[in-house]
Structure 1
Amino acid sequence: MRNTIKITAAVLAVGTLSLGLAACGGSDSGTRSDGSGKEANGPLVVAASPTPHAQILDYVRDHLAKKAGLDLQVKEFSDYVLPNTATEQGQVGANFFQHKPYLDDFNKKNGTHIVPVVDVELEPLGVYSHKITSLGALRDGDSVAVPNDTTNEARALKLLADNGLVTLRSGTDQTATPADVTANPRHLKFKELEAAQLPRSLDDVDAAVINGNYAIEGHLDPTKDALALEKAAGNPYANFLAVKKGQENDPRVLKLAKLLNSPEVRAYIEHTFKGAVIPAFGAPAA
């Protein structure tokens, strides 16, 4: 049984994210690392979206962390905002759910100071539908749902462009919005939705571009159900472990980073997700 605590946005909206945790994810009896390399006592609490991030962390906690001397706790969040907010405020010690373009945009818009530590995996973005079986079946005026956050919307539009459905303004690959669509021969109508809602939108739109983790949660198999799927080669959207700036050298964080890039985790990802999630180990993009 997975020993995680699911925290919804609705619950966390009440009060000030009172998770009952000490700063930087330590317990009341723990000591926060000052980044100098001095061993920090107490657990490392990591915020994560449920799939695949919390699943991967659960595997590390249950099979690898104890031997490495790491007390790892996992807190599940159901959206893309609160994990960074909790990390910035010191209510968790780290998070694992996002890629670099999203984090850069989030820090800029919110004045936060979250930094990546180590890349772990890639979840290819895909186009899905309950109404058609190929992109060629999209008709004039059909509706396509896309994520409404800046970076994932741009990523979704680029996937559509790569498959010949639209043309984007030059230089907008990582910043594109529907306003940057310069050619739309099928007059597709874009419906911008919060990323977690996209699997549930499939009965209401003709197609949707869905993040890999939410596709899996929605019982979609990216390798079988996607009408189009992102290529892994050269993809800048690897998901990573992240912390508030200054906590990169917390010994607990360094232990977790090493475990997340271990051969055991590579084998777990490949065996569990069978191509729907791909290992992408190493240093994050600059």
Structure 2
Amino acid sequence: MLIITLQPAVAEDIIRIGVTPGVYAEILEQVKNVAVAQDLKLNIVVFDDKTRIDEALAQHKIDAASFEDGPSFAANRQRYALANAGSTVTLPMAIYSRQLSNLTQLQRGASIAIPADAAGAARALVLLQNFTLLTFADRAGLHAKLADITSNRLGLKIRQLPRERLYAALDKVAFAVIDSNDAARAGLYPARDSLGIEDARSPWQGVLAVREADRAQPWVAQLVKACHSDTVAHFILTHYQDSVRRPW
């Protein structure tokens, strides 16, 4: 799928929303249908390269964006004058295993795997803390590293692997922590296959971004209302069976 986005605005009364292919684009199609009843016209612009979306928003090539989680958005605010208009959905990170049927079976000293990249590792460590397997220093916040761990009550051996190797590692470790996109590519679904799943109101919930200068525009409130409508909620629940979660 390739959509060229570097073009002039299509019309002043049409709101252009940048998304990535897959879940965000699918949900925005439902939002688009709801918005019509509010006299809000949406044009969904799909980007193959997500790194171009915030720049396109800042340069007025689109009017809103729905593709990134909270920490990623916060990091990009240092480059662009963007505002968080509201939450979208959470694509949950989860714990998967071929050896265990629940976390109570986890043995002392077991080996586990988490992503090697800094952002993925931090998110995985927060998830493991939420399941009381680890604790780490408060100062670490959403940027926790292995060095920040202050308690590992089962003495788990934590291996950091590239994301693309985590699924294969399930044959060798007690469990692996895998994000939603990588899990889906491997045929895994958090609600069906995981031993533990990230909460819908995770700090990594998705962000509906707009330009700071547009934050108070009436169409922004209309767009958020459409995103949080009962129709969209029903679609998310029935289409994804809680493998995509609603923080609203």
Structure 1: stretches of 5+ with no match in the other structure: 8-17, 31-39, 282-286
Q: What SS does the aligned partner of 1:118 have?
A: strand
**Distance between the aligned counterparts of 1:153 and 1:77, measured in 2?**
26
Q: Which amino acid aligns with 1:127?
A: I
SS at match of 1:271: helix
Q: 3-state DSSP class of the match of 1:21?
A: coil
2:114 alignment partner AA? A
- Cα separation, 2, equivalents of 1:58 and 1:64: 9
Determine the C-alpha separation between the residues in 2 that align with 1:172 and 1:79. Answer: 30
What is the CA distance between 1:183 and its match in structure 2? 4.4
1:21 to 2:19 alignment: no
Change (3 A) 1:78 1:180: farther
C-alpha displacement at 1:261, in angstroms? 1.5
Normalising by structure 1, what TM-score? 0.70
Which amino acid in structure 2 is aligned with residue 57 of structure 1?
L
Question: Any conservation in 2 of the 1:51–1:216 contact (CA below 8 Å)?
Answer: no
Larger helix proportion, structure 1 or 2?
2
Q: Which amino acid aligns with 1:248?
A: R
| CA distance in structure 1 between the partners assigned to 2:60 and 2:108 by the alignment | 49
CA distance in 2, matches of 1:181, 1:6: 43
For the aligned residues, what is the CA RMSD? 3.1
String of CA shifts for 1:28-81, please: whole Å, max 9, x gaps.
xx3xxxxxxxxx33x3221223342111101222x3233333332223345653
Please say if 1:264 is aligned against 2:231: yes
- Given the alignment, which residue of 238, 259, 262 partners 2:205? 238
Q: Percent identity between the aligned chains?
A: 24
Match of 1:94 among 64, 70, 74: 64
1:59-208 map, 5 Å: 59-61=30-32, 63-77=33-47, 81-108=51-78, 111-129=79-97, 133-135=101-103, 136=105, 140=109, 142=111, 144-146=113-115, 148=117, 150=119, 152-184=120-152, 185-191=155-161, 193=162, 197-198=163-164, 201-204=166-169, 206=173, 207-208=175-176
Asked if the contact 2:92–2:244 (Cα under 8 Å) also holds between the matched residues in 1, the reply is: yes
Q: Flag the 1:89–1:208 CA change in 2: closer, same or farther, 3 A.
A: farther
- Spell out the pairing of 1:221-232 with structure 2 (5 A cutoff): 221-232=189-200
Separation in 2 of the partners of 1:96 and 1:55? Answer: 11
C-alpha offsets along residues 123-154 of structure 1, whole Å, 9 cap, x if unaligned? 3321224566555457857451327353x532
Aligned runs of 1:36-47 on 2, under 5 Å? 40-41=12-13, 43-47=14-18
Counterpart of 1:58 (choices 7, 10, 29) is: 29
Q: Distance in 1 between matches of 2:224 and 2:39?
A: 13
In structure 2, relative to structure 1, the CA distance for the partners of 1:147 and 1:85 (3 Å cut) is: farther
| Unaligned residue ranges in structure 2 (runs of 5+) | none
Deviations 1:79-127 (A, max 9, x none): 653332332233322111233333223323xx22221112233333212
- Quickly say closer, same or farther: Cα 1:88–1:214, change in 2 above 3 A: farther
Supply the distance in 2 between the matched residues of 1:176 and 1:155 (Cα, whole angstroms).
Answer: 8
The 8 Å contact of residues 44 and 253 in structure 1, kept in 2 or not, is answered as no
Q: Which secondary structure does the structure 1 equivalent of 2:56 belong to? A: helix
- The whole-number CA distance in structure 2 between the counterparts of 1:265 and 1:217 is 24
Match of 2:246, SS? strand
Q: What is the rounded CA distance, in whole Å, between the counterparts of 1:21 and 1:242 in structure 2?
A: 20
CA distance in 2, matches of 1:78, 1:176: 30
| Structure-2 change in CA distance of 1:133 and 1:180 (3 Å) | same
CA–CA distance in structure 2, aligned partners of residues 130 and 93 of structure 1: 44
Distance 1:201 1:69 in 2: 46
CA shift in 2, pair 1:98/1:203, >3 Å: same
Q: How many residues align?
A: 242
Between 1:270-279 and 1:130-139, the stretch displaced more is 130-139
Query: CA 1:92–1:219 in 2, change beyond 3 Å: closer, same or farther?
Result: farther
Aligned to 2:178: 210
Structure 1 position 160, deviation (Å):
1.8
